Amino acid sequence: MLPEEFVKLLTPEATALLGEIVVDSKLDVVKTVSRLRAAGHDAGTVAAVLSQAKLRARGFAKFGDFAKNMFFTEDGLEQASRLAVSAHHAGRFRDAGIRQVADLGCGIGSESMAFAALDLNVVAVELDEVTAACATYNLAPFDNAQVLNADVTSLDLTEFESQFFDPARRELGTGREKATRKFDPAAFAPNYDWVLEQAKDRPTGVKLGPGHPHEAIPETAEAQWVSVNGDLVELTLWFGKLARAGVARSALMLRDGEAVELKSANFEKTSAPVRELGQYIYEPDNAVVRSHLIAELAEQLELGLIAPEIAYLTGDQAISSPWLRGFQVLETMHFDRKKLKARLRELGVGILEIKKRGSDVVPEVLRKELQLKGERAATLIITRVGDSHRALICEAL
Q: What is the pLDDT of residue 6?
A: 87
Q: Is the pLDDT of residue 266 over 70?
A: yes
Query: Has residue 177 got a pLDDT over 80?
Result: no
366-369 contacts at long range (C-beta below 8 A, 24 or more positions apart):
366/337, 369/337, 369/341
From 248-252, 272-276, 279-283, the region with the lowest mean pLDDT = 272-276
CA dist 193 and 216 (Å) reads 10
> pLDDT of 94-138, one tens digit each?
999 999 999 999 999 999 999 999 999 999 999 999 999 999 999
Share of the chain above pLDDT 90, in %: 77
Q: DSSP string spanning 337-392?
A: HHHHHHHHHHHTEEEEEEEEES----HHHHHHHHT--SSEEEEEEEEEETTEEEEE
Mean pLDDT score, 22-50: 87
Least confident interval from 20-24, 281-285, 318-322: 20-24
> Can you give the pLDDT at residue 35?
87
Q: Rounded to the nearest 5 degrees, what angle is found at the Cα of 56, between the Cα atoms of 55 and 62?
A: 100
pLDDT given for residue 29 in this prediction: 86
| DSSP string of 157-221, one letter each residue | GGG-S-EEE--B-EE--STTPPPEE---GGGSBS-HHHHHHHTTTS-EEEEE-TT--GGGS-TTS
DSSP 242: G
How close are the terminal C-alpha atoms of the chain, in Å?
A: 46
pLDDT of residue 176: 44
pLDDT at position 26 = 79
Measured CA to CA, the distance from residue 107 to residue 74 in angstroms comes to 11
Rounded to an integer, the average pLDDT of 274-297 is: 96
What pLDDT does residue 39 have?
86
Q: Quick check: 186 pLDDT over 80? A: no
pLDDT of residue 397: 94
- DSSP class of 152: G
Over residues 365-376, mean pLDDT = 94
What is the rounded distance in angstroms from the CA atom of residue 247 to the CA atom of residue 41? 57
Cα radius of gyration rounded to whole Å, the chain: 25
The residue ranges of DSSP E strands in 66-107, in sequence order, are 100-104
Provide the edge-to-edge strand list for the sheet that holds 258-264. 145-149, 121-126, 100-104, 163-165, 204-208, 231-239, 222-228, 249-255, 258-264
Q: What is the mean pLDDT of the chain?
A: 92
Q: Is residue 173 pLDDT above 60, yes or no?
A: no
Res. 181: pLDDT tops 70? no
> What is the distance between the alpha carbons of residues 2 and 52, in angstroms, rounded to a whole number?
12
Query: Can you tell me the mean pLDDT for 188-215?
Result: 94
DSSP code string of 52-70? HHHHHHHHHHHHGGGGGG-
Return the pLDDT at 183. 59
CA of residue 193 relative to chain centroid, distance:
23
| In contact, 254 and 225? CB cutoff 8 Å | no
Q: What percentage of the chain has pLDDT greater than the value 70? A: 96
Is pLDDT larger for residue 2 or for residue 169? 2
Q: Strands, E, within 120-162: which ranges?
A: 121-126, 145-149
Is the distance from CB of 85 to CB of 147 less than 8 angstroms? Answer: no
- The mean pLDDT of 354-362, rounded to a whole number, is 93
Task: Using the predicted structure, report yes or no on whether residue 237 has a pLDDT greater than 80.
Answer: yes
**pLDDT value at position 175?**
45
8 A C-beta contact, residue 166 and residue 106: yes
User: What value does the mean pLDDT take over residues 146-154?
Assistant: 96
pLDDT band at 170 (very low <50, low <70, confident <90, very high): low
pLDDT on residue 174: 43
Please give the average per-residue pLDDT across 312-341, as a whole number.
96
Check residue 182 and give its pLDDT: 53
The predicted model gives 21-33 an average pLDDT of 84
Cα separation, 70 vs 68, in Å, equals 6
